Chains A and B, each alone.
Chain A
């Protein structure tokens, strides 16, 4: 009987018992129950944001003469603010800022974090160094990190993006590291290494695919956290600069008129709730499908 030499490029993926097709389960999770509700909520917000130019009756920064702090009406669905702008128009345009933050900053943080976690965790020295850096970042609550970075960068949309990337980077780095440490001990990885598979091949072929599922779930959780971070930063004046609107800045403006016009904050608050709740429901549904 002659021994067959298997070269890395031809390794059979079926040797990896942790790899199985989860797509049907994931699809099922998102098309029923809480997953569906989450998708619908997020979908509505996304549609509102993308259709803002069509839906908004006014430009978000247009100051309408004489329209100072008007209540909700057929002309101004959510009223006007203290500098005479239509609140509904600002809200739908503000959603775009949050969508940018959610769908740009979080994936960016996830990709960078995963890459850093993936590459540095293979070697002990880089692993120790990276984990200590992650410890330092994670020691600061996101808001403290936001305040510290804002002191250097000044308030603004890109500061929000950088804060979220910085806050999410260690989260995803740690997640990938955990997967790596699990998969690395598996016999099929040892087998691959015996036949000459290098670290990069193992990382790409086994570790990364095994991390994708938890990463997806974490992505949804982090996106909901990002909405909070944007809201909190803008609420504190560290987020987008006036006159630009974001959901957080609109809530802050609404709170300022809380006593004589409490309804201004309602619209933006509902959108934040829908977005955060929707993303959390999606993450829960994905987590459940994985357990199943």
Chain B
């Protein structure tokens, strides 16, 4: 009887294999269907299929923390101004012109009068007020919340002109206006639940299927001209390797999350194009001072001197970026060539600092799970620290949970992640970004000088004059001396596309893909 049971078990296993084969065959058919036009390309429609790593989380849709969210926000919404990638010279978008008061405490913007939301309602100055007030609401945990909250007066008497009054001069007001998407107040309740995202952008939100896909259609009446494709379908493919497979099999036309190694391989193939932005994100090691050992700045500096940045950049990121010890790119007014190499690998100095500190036990080293780049970086960092004599335990954490830990400051040790915001006015980073915010940051680093320098740079009329640059020098000194956030490299943003994708392809300063001029051919 038991023998029969074993036979049955084996039979079941055989059946499972057959079932799997049948499923694979079924999937193959589905792939073939999709390659031959697929469900969403019927009727000759040109749908751009994107493979994206992380799904939308409605509660954190404005936190700039997921590639799918970035594509959604960048495609569905417009902002008042747009920065070019390589400068802080704001360009008109929904605002056609603006005038900042000499004392820096207000700004008057003229707004386009030919813009409507996707619902058909006209865009007015009231929508600007609503959008900025939404960003000022702490419930959305946006990184520029402090700046938005400093906008306290709204003159919306003219529907196509608005004057914003501030509590104090805001050197980064144009950063805020570049980042805040103009939101439709009438559909805001649906936005909270992920049911509707209504903006004025080149694409119209159609649907979101959690953990599966987001569908957008072209806004034919877009004030900037109709997009080059009929729609976008963003498929959530959490495994970067699976994204590459989807690109190779023709299921998607563009992938946002491929590892740098896969991107390098794809770049060698004529059938694919790897597009780069010179101004991507910064990969870093954060140090949580809530861990008693990491309270000692000498240990943090020892960690900084232990990092083999060149190796990480070359082997993990295939050389797509530059190593650095400070957050800023060369185009930033806060860039300092000497400080950018301050923490270049120096094993002797690291060991000397650690010898002063003594035994520090084992430090947790967290990183987002399931990402080959982060996993390789974490293992190299672990080996670097081991060589110095600092023991670490790797802790892979699911990405959404990781972002929650970042916002709440719950790492309890070291962590590895990428940050943005250094591409803006330097004060934006120091008063806004979760890892840097002088008021409250993920490292639990509190310092009067740092806060004074950050606030000083922030509460100025200009973010680029001589006085501001002097304050950025002080900020740099704070960042280097206190070593609570240890930069590794400034990486290039990269996506891979199939040879079907044509037209102009770029990124916004916010890191969002700009897809309105993309076309599909081939």
Contact = CB atoms under 8 A, between A and B. Distances in A.
B244 interface: yes
Contacts of B264: 260
A242 B396 contact: yes
A243 B379 contact: yes
A73 B153 CA distance: 70
B344 to A, nearest CB: 17
- Counting chain A CB atoms within 10 Å of each CB, the highest count among B6, B261, B375, B378 belongs to B6
A188 B241 CA distance: 62
A213 B383 CA distance: 49
B378 A217 contact: no
Contacts of B3: 214, 217, 287-288, 290-291
A214 B376 contact: no
Contacts of A83: 315, 376, 379-380, 383
Interface string A62-93: 01000011000000000000111000000000
Interface string B298-329: 00000000000000000110000000000000
A260 B268 CA distance: 11
A84 B315 contact: yes
A84 B312 CA distance: 12
A83 B316 CA distance: 8
A241 B6 contact: no
A131 interface: no
Interface in B225-249: 241, 244, 248
A62 to B, nearest CB: 9
B379 A241 contact: no
Contacts of B370: 237
A221 B2 contact: no
Contacts of B375: 242
Contacts of A288: 3
A186 interface: no
B10 A284 contact: yes
Interface stretch (A7-15, A37-45, A251-259, A266-274): A251-259
B261 A260 contact: yes
B499 interface: no
A77 B3 CA distance: 42
Interface string B370-399: 101001101110110000000001111000
Contacts of B380: 63, 83
B362 interface: no
Interface in A150-197: 154-155, 175, 178-179, 182
B372 A218 contact: no
Contact of A178 (B2, B10, B383, B395): B2
B369 interface: yes
A283 interface: yes
B1 interface: yes
Contacts of A68: 315
Contacts of B5: 175, 178, 214
A166 to B, nearest CB: 19
A63 to B, nearest CB: 5
A287 B396 contact: no
Nearest to B264: A260
Given A243-B382, A243-B394, A260-B261, A82 B6 contact: no
A242 B394 contact: yes
Contacts of A291: 3
Contacts of A284: 6, 10
A119 B468 CA distance: 78
Nearest to A283: B6
A82 B262 contact: no
A184 B261 CA distance: 63
Contact of A258 (B241, B382, B383, B394): B241
A280 B17 CA distance: 15
Contacts of A290: 2-3
Given A82-B261, A82-B372, A84-B315, A259 B244 contact: yes
Contacts of A237: 369-370, 396
Contact of B259 (A63, A84, A178, A256): A256
Nearest to B380: A83
Contacts of B405: none
Contacts of B259: 256
B29 to A, nearest CB: 23
Contacts of B2: 175, 178-179, 213-214, 217-218, 290
Nearest to B248: A259
B9 A221 contact: yes
B265 interface: yes
B379 to A, nearest CB: 5
Given A84-B315, A241-B394, A241-B396, A257 B261 contact: yes
Interface in A215-241: 217-218, 221, 237, 241
Nearest to B401: A151
B395 A82 contact: no
B315 A256 contact: no
A2 B355 CA distance: 90
A287 B376 contact: no
B315 A82 contact: yes
A173 to B, nearest CB: 14
Interface in B449-499: none
A84 B315 CA distance: 9
B7 interface: yes
Interface string B192-210: 0000000000000000000
Contacts of B383: 61, 63, 83
A10 to B, nearest CB: 30
Given A241-B394, A242-B396, A217 B6 contact: yes
Contacts of B395: 154, 241
A242 B382 CA distance: 10
A78 B356 CA distance: 42
B502 to A, nearest CB: 24
Nearest to B316: A82
26 contacts: A68-B315, A82-B315, A82-B316, A82-B376, A83-B315, A83-B376, A83-B379, A175-B5, A178-B1, A178-B2, A213-B2, A217-B6, A242-B375, A242-B379, A242-B396, A243-B379, A243-B382, A243-B394, A256-B241, A256-B261, A259-B244, A260-B264, A260-B265, A287-B3, A288-B3, A290-B3
Given A83-B376, A243-B382, A259-B248, 16 more contacts: A63-B380, A84-B315, A155-B396, A175-B5, A178-B5, A214-B2, A241-B396, A242-B375, A256-B241, A256-B261, A256-B372, A258-B241, A259-B265, A284-B10, A288-B3, A290-B2
Interface of A: 61, 63, 68-69, 82-84, 154-155, 175, 178-179, 182, 213-214, 217-218, 221, 237, 241-243, 255-260, 280, 283-284, 287-288, 290-291
* Among all A-B residue pairs, the 6 with the closest Cβ atoms: A214-B2, A287-B6, A260-B265, A63-B383, A291-B3, A287-B3
